[in-house]
């Protein structure tokens, strides 16, 4: 019987039994979201963990998952929660669109349950939920419902590209199709959930990115990358272009009581729905940039206005609230001053996001009571959600992105 795959039928058929035997003895069986040891699996727990685990390591996710399960033990609890509460629980986990999709998805799931009496039971049903793609849906079906489902996440792709020496760029659709075809061929009809967990464990604990433990691997005998001594050449991925750099001032606008002005970010865009200091855009630089102490001092006043005078840049880089604040500060001839907390006073705080590096320079502005009232009214008139809180209270009560926490560390 002909096959499109590089391995023999014997190797293809032996893949799952070897992997499952290894997983039974060496796999992780104590993760709080695992459902393979229960006869009545809970798809809510699997869905929640899968969303959190997207682009995030298990050790990072564990405390967040525990907090969510304590506060939102059911999907109905999550759907009924206020966004600010969810944002506070998620703060620091990154990729904040996931939290938005989680909240929206919870509401969608409750609607499905109210109508049908249960969670979605099909791949298509789960893929209709916000933030759930084919691999996440496969994980929920296989691990959360104990039905046949297939996953093809980053760990699975790494194991497969090495075992089969797949040298196509994994960012390309043709390679994606090849990987899905292979994992569908390898996944057993029975115990697909166990197989999915075993594949994830293999990638996370043995077939790791930089130092794969090939001597402990149950698949080493017919792993093509291992036979060639080229394990770390896979998966093949096009070299990333250097990230651009973006520079902004983070304004600590304080009132006479030492309380700081906080803005809730727009739902769309970076840090959607979270709380942030007002930001003053300074400049963007393409590609890599060398940042040395005292070479990137704060850019305020006229220098800022020269950049901001470009209308498109102004509208793109300043939220509505930040435009109001920027114009109000200039109108009142108030300029920010550098915050001196460390020996590296002139060195901005670097925060790396998916598509760019962000350099944030803390700047302080103190307002009198009249000014604080005036700027508050200006923002409230534009229906901007604001808060006046000191740094400690803000970190406890508001959902802050990690970059804001860095500023106060």
Point out the residues that are catalytic.
Answer: 50
- Assess contact for 19 and 219: CB atoms under 8 A: yes
Read off the tokens for 16: 């799952």
- Assess contact for 142 and 150: CB atoms under 8 A: yes
What are the angstrom distances between the C-alpha of 24 and each of 35, 229, 254, 350?
14, 28, 58, 43
Q: In 117-251, where does DSSP find H-type helix?
A: 123-127, 134-139, 154-163, 173-186, 192-201, 224-228
> How far apart, in whole angstroms, are the C-alpha atoms of residue 276 and residue 253?
12
> How far apart, in whole angstroms, are the C-alpha atoms of residue 48 and residue 102?
8
> How far apart, in whole angstroms, are the C-alpha atoms of residue 61 and residue 98?
13
- Assess contact for 156 and 199: CB atoms under 8 A: yes
Closest by CA to 308, choosing from 335, 341, 330, is: 330
> How far apart, in whole angstroms, are the C-alpha atoms of residue 38 and residue 146?
10
Cis peptide before 235, with omega less than 30 degrees from 0? yes
Q: What is the DSSP string of 208-234?
A: -SSS--GGG-TTGGG-HHHHHT-GGG-
- Assess contact for 328 and 382: CB atoms under 8 A: no
Place of tokens 């850019």: 299
10 Å CB burial of residue 99 (0-12, 13-18, 19+) is buried
What are the angstrom distances between the C-alpha of 168 and each of 173, 181, 234?
10, 14, 9
């Amino acid at each position: 019987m002909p096959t499109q795959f590089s391995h023999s039928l014997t190797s293809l058929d032996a893949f799952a039994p070897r992997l499952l035997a290894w997983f039974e003895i060496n796999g992780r069986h104590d993760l709080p979201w695992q459902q393979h040891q229960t006869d009545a699996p809970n798809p809510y727990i699997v869905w929640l963990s899968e969303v959190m685990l997207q682009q995030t390591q298990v050790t990072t996710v564990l405390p967040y998952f525990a907090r969510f399960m304590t506060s939102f033990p059911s999907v109905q609890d999550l759907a009924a929660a206020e966004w600010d509460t969810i944002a506070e629980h998620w703060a620091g986990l990154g990729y904040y669109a996931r939290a938005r999709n989680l909240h929206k998805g919870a509401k969608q799931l409750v609607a499905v349950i109210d109508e049908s009496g249960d969670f979605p039971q099909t791949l298509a049903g789960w893929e209709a939920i916000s933030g759930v793609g084919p691999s996440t849906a496969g994980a929920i079906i296989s691990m959360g419902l104990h039905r046949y489902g297939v996953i093809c996440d980053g760990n699975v792709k790494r194991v497969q590209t090495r075992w089969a020496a797949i040298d196509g760029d994994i960012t390309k659709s043709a390679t994606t199709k090849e990987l899905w075809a292979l994992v569908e061929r390898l996944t057993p009809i029975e115990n697909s959930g166990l197989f999915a967990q075993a594949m994830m464990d293999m990638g996370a604990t043995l077939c790791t990115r930089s130092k794969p433990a090939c001597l402990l691997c149950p698949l080493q005998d017919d792993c093509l990358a291992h036979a060639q001594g080229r394990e770390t050449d896979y998966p093949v991925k096009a070299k990333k272009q250097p990230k651009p750099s973006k520079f902004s001032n983070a304004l600590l606008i304080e009132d006479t009581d030492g309380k700081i002005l906080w803005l809730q970010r727009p739902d769309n865009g970076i840090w959607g729905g979270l709380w942030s200091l007002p930001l003053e855009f300074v400049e963007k630089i393409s590609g890599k940039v060398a940042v040395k102490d005292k070479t990137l001092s704060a850019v305020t006043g006229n220098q800022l206005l020269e950049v901001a005078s470009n209308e498109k840049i102004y509208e793109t880089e300043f939220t509505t609230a930040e435009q109001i604040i920027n114009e109000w500060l200039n109108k009142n001839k108030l300029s920010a001053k550098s915050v001196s907390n460390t020996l590296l006073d002139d060195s901005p705080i670097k925060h790396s996001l998916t598509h760019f590096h962000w350099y944030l320079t803390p700047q302080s502005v103190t307002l009198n009571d009249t000014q604080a009232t005036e700027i508050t009214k200006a923002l409230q008139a534009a229906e901007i959600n604001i808060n006046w809180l000191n740094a400690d209270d803000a970190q406890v009560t508001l959902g802050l992105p990690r970059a804001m926490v860095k500023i106060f560390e």
